[in-house]
């Protein structure tokens, strides 16, 4: 992409992940400016999106509600401006963890056993045994994540998770290695293994420097690597993804993958997981950001 472009980076927004988005957007804007592009940083107001005149493409560095759930994508479709990442339908599908899991099941993609709650007065479900994980159905960045180790703690932890939306999904807690697989232009990037130094990979360990170690490419044998990447690609296809995403996958001790969720607008700081995976195949951060813009520009308006 040699010509200089007029680009807008959407960052911040109204979600619980605003601070993470501001960091992503600032990093992306710096990277794109380093490649010679004119970049405006736009902190959007839902329903009142305004772009600088002459904007040729939008880089979506938003996370969470509004940015990742198809809302801003629909607004940009109305404006007729190309934007990075997944379209309206894929964003809707992936942002809802229950829809993602049902689409994965229909496509034969392995995912964790689950049950859905929408009331803080719900009782412990029959046939389930701790440990389990509670997640708000429509949040990201581990917002509202609860690990339940004892049945007697369930009511309190369910109520806490429900604070971040009206529906919570409970999953079996998978024992094994935690990985994430970046997808770029329909191809799986090298696997990143995530190892918190203490505890689980929750919001604190995710966003506090030094609390988690990352290994890329993750040390799996070739057949296991292929299984993990194929599960990630299967989930990406199941939600009708395009251009790029990041798929979180647990790997059981026997090497079998279990898809947790699909992130259609993954973190985009220079130390985020998708950029780490891209760096492992020789794509520096600025080149990755520019590649994402090119994918958007190369689509037809209906793409």
- Domain with residues 6-85, CATH architecture: 3-Layer(aba) Sandwich (3.40)
Residue ranges per domain, the chain? 6-85, 93-110+175-264, 114-172
- Domain with residues 93-110+175-264, CATH architecture: 2-Layer Sandwich (3.30)
- Domain with residues 114-172, CATH architecture: 2-Layer Sandwich (3.30)
pLDDT band for position 294 (cuts 50, 70, 90)? very high
Order of all β-strands in the sheet with 38-42: 38-42, 6-10, 57-60
More confident residue, 203 or 289: 289
pLDDT band for position 46 (cuts 50, 70, 90)? confident
Q: In the numeric block, which tokens belong to residue 290?
A: 């520019």
Q: Percentage of residues in the chain with pLDDT exceeding 90? A: 83
pLDDT at 68: 94
Tokens 């009511």 identify what position? 155
Residue 237 has pLDDT above 50, yes or no: yes
pLDDT at 271: 82
pTM of the model: 0.91
pLDDT at 16: 83
pLDDT band for position 299 (cuts 50, 70, 90)? confident
Residue 302 has pLDDT above 50, yes or no: no
pLDDT at 300: 56
Catalogue the active-site residues.
Answer: 17, 141, 207, 246, 248, 261, 263, 267
Encode pLDDT of 101-155 as tens digits: 999 999 999 999 999 999 999 999 999 999 999 999 987 657 789 999 999 999 9
Encode pLDDT of 193-218 as tens digits: 999 876 665 555 555 567 789 999 99
Q: What's the mean per-residue pLDDT of the chain?
A: 92
Q: Do strands 6-10 and 57-60 pair parallel, antiparallel, or not at all (unpaired)?
A: parallel
pLDDT at 303: 40
The answer to whether 212 and 201 have CB atoms below 8 angstroms apart is yes
SS3 255: coil
Measured distance CA(135)–CA(248) in Å, rounded: 14
Residue 89 has pLDDT above 70, yes or no: yes
Encode pLDDT of 57-85 as tens digits: 999 999 988 999 999 999 999 999 999 99
pLDDT at 2: 62
Residue 258 has pLDDT above 90, yes or no: yes
pLDDT at 47: 84
Measured distance CA(277)–CA(247) in Å, rounded: 12
């Amino acid at each position: 992409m040699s010509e200089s472009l007029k680009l807008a980076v959407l960052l911040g927004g109204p979600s619980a992940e605003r601070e993470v988005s501001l960091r992503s957007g600032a990093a992306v804007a710096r990277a794109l400016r380093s490649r010679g592009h004119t970049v405006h940083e736009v902190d959007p107001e839902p329903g009142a999106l305004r772009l600088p005149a002459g904007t040729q493409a939008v880089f979506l560095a938003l996370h969470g509600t509004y940015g990742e759930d198809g809302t801003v994508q629909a607004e940009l479709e109305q404006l007729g401006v190309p934007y990075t990442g997944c379209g309206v339908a894929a964003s809707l599908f992936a942002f809802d963890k229950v829809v993602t899991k049902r689409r994965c099941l229909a496509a034969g993609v392995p995912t964790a056993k689950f049950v859905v709650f929408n009331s803080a007065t719900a009782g412990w479900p029959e046939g389930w045994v701790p440990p389990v994980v509670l997640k708000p159905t429509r949040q990201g960045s581990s917002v509202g994540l609860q690990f339940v180790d004892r049945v007697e703690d369930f009511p309190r932890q369910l109520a806490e998770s429900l604070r971040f939306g009206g529906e919570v999904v409970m999953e079996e807690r998978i024992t094994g290695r935690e990985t994430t697989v970046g997808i770029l232009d329909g191809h799986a990037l090298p696997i990143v293994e995530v190892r918190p130094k203490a505890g689980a990979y929750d919001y604190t360990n995710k966003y506090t420097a030094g609390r988690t170690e990352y290994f890329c490419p993750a040390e799996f044998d070739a057949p296991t690597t292929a299984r993990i990447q194929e599960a990630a690609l299967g989930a990406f296809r199941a939600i009708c993804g395009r251009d790029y995403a990041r798929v979180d996958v647990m790997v059981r001790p026997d090497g079998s993958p279990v898809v947790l969720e699909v992130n259609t607008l993954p973190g985009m700081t220079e130390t985020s997981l998708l950029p780490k995976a891209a760096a492992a195949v020789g794509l520096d951060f600025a080149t990755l950001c520019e590649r994402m813009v090119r994918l958007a520009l190369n689509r037809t308006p209906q793409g």
